[in-house]
Amino acid sequence: MDQKISAQKYWRINLKYLSILLFIWFLCSFGLGVFFVDALNNFKIGGFPMGFWFAQQGSIYIFVVLIFTYVFLMNRLDKRFGFED
């Protein structure tokens, strides 16, 4: 029974992590790289128009960071609940 309750709790926390990370995922790719690209292009990072940079460089870096953040969060969560395999 305990096992079942902690599994549900574990899953709810996992879903919370997922929604936050996927929100950032959506914002950085579709938000900054597609929907707001024209507005952002008025700003520059070095020689890059900012929207263009997000579409061709920035979003990819952020994707990598997002996955490793998830790896870190889940390893910690597994340990907390004793669900390590």
Partner 1 sequence: MSVQVWTYIIVGITFALYIGIAIWSRAGSTKDFYVAGGGVSPLANGMATAADWMSAASFISMAGIISFTGYDGSVYLMGWTGGYVLLALLLAPYLRKFGKFTVPDFIGDRYYSDTARIVAVICALLVSFTYVAGQMRGVGVVFSRFLEVDINTGVIIGMIIVLFYAVLGGMKGITYTQVAQYCVLIFAFMVPAIFISIQMTGNPIPQLGMGGTVLDGSEMYLLEKLNGLSTELGFNQYTDGSKDMIDIFAITLALMVGTAGLPHVIVRFFTVKKVKDARKSAGLALLLIAVLYTTAPAVAVFARVNLIETVSDKSYDVMPEWFKNWEKTGLLTFEDKNQDGKVQYVADPQINELKVDPDIMVLANPEIAKLPAWIIALVAAGCLAAALSTAAGLLLVISASVSHDLIKKIFMPTISDKGELLAARLSAVVAVCVAGYFGINPPGFVAAVVALAFGLAAASLFPAIILGIFYKRMNKEGAVSGMIVGILFMLFYMAKFKLGWLGDIPPASEWWFGISPEGFGSVAMVVNLIVSVAVSRFTAAPPHEVQEIVENIRIPSGVGAASSSH
Chain contacts with partner 1 (rule: CB under 8 A): 7, 10-11, 14, 18, 21-22, 25, 29-30, 33-35, 37, 41, 45-49, 52-53, 55-57, 59-61, 63-64, 66-68, 70-71, 74-75, 78, 81-85
Q: CB of residue 1 vs partner 1: minimum separation in angstroms?
A: 14
Residues 6+ apart with CB under 8 A from 74: 14, 17
Q: How far is the CB of 42 from partner 1 (least distance, A)?
A: 12
Task: Determine how β-strand 44-45 pairs with β-strand 48-49.
Answer: antiparallel
What is the spatial distance between Cα 69 and Cα 63, in angstroms, rounded to a whole number? 10
